[in-house]
Structure 1
Amino acid sequence: MSDSSIVIYTSRRQLELYEGNRLIRRYPIAVGKKATPTPHGHYYIAAKHLHPGGVFGSRWMGLSLPTYGIHGTNSPSSIGQAISKGCIRMHNHDAEALYQHVVIGTPVTIQP
């Protein structure tokens, strides 16, 4: 079992990957728009899928909050914006790298 964890800062539009207490990597992300904000709270990775296609890009990491996840995108210019329906979007190459580090059960904290 991995000791990885993810912390997402919606206001900074950043995702941080930790191994134990050590920051491994920061990634730029897109978050939910005003009408459909990314929900703050404590969740975990509940599902992982390769090549979900379409707007989800090359990887999907579903959260324990149904219908929300961390995923790639077919619109890389959206990264850095508040534009999604609440999910966390990443560049596909970043989503692929993150996918390799996380397992089902990896904790995810989403905060302002």
Structure 2
Amino acid sequence: MAINYSLKTSWMVVCFGSAILWFSAVQPRLKPLSVIPKVKPKPKMAQVLPATDSLKMAIAGMSSRIVVDLSEARVYSYWGKQRIATYPVAVGQPGWETPTGTFKVLHKQLNPVWKQPITGEIIPAGPDNPLGDRWIGFWVDERHHIGFHGTDDEKLVGKAISHGCLRMRNKDIRALYNQVSLGTPVIVRP
């Protein structure tokens, strides 16, 4: 049995030795470690979290803007450098001029209620509401709110007739409402 064991061991050494010789003859010479190109590890993917309201405001502020030209009675909507649309607007009448400057969208409201700035009368949402069915507010002081809104009298769009707001045709304010977010810059120039 001892002979049988040593025979098996010898046979294994010969087989493994032959296999090692055969592999070394078939395999190309290995390059030194200094010549082997370094493989960069793949970057790990960051987990994307849902957008918060603050992030949405920041994105809107960076990518879109509204420019109002009071002398033309027009509003221009931009996404980056690309103009998306332009609409006619009614602007503030003498004594109630639309404020100029750089602002941002502060409020968006569907079916707004209107408080008449002179009498204080409250007009509920509906077909007789002078604000129409959309409100985009961008300026406010202690007594007044100014923004874009629809109208119950579209033939006045394009004139200096408002109390500082920018009146738009109802179909136009609906389109603009969908193009802006809270935080979107509003530039009003004379």
Same fold (TM over 0.5): yes
Query: Structure 1 residue aligned with 2:167, among 89, 100, 111?
Result: 89
One-letter identity of the residue aligned with 1:18: Y
Task: Tell me the TM-score normalised to structure 1 length.
Answer: 0.96
* Count of paired positions: 112
Runs of 4+ in 1 over 6 A off after TM superposition: none
Q: State, as a whole percentage, how many aligned pairs show the same letter.
A: 40
Deviation of 1:65 after TM superposition, in Å, equals: 3.1
Give 2:76's aligned residue: 16
Greater RCO (CA < 8 Å, at least 6 residues apart): 1
Aligned-partner Cα distance in 1 for 2:156–2:82: 28
1:58-96 CA-partner distances (Å, limit 9, x unpaired): 100011434111111111011010000000110010000
More strand per residue: 1
Give 1:55's aligned residue: 130
Aligned-partner Cα distance in 1 for 2:140–2:78: 21
Unpaired runs of 5+ residues, structure 2, are 1-58, 113-124
Task: Tell me the TM-score normalised to structure 2 length.
Answer: 0.57
| RMSD of equivalent CA atoms | 0.9
Unpaired runs of 5+ residues, structure 1, are none
Rg larger for: 2
Give 2:97's aligned residue: 37
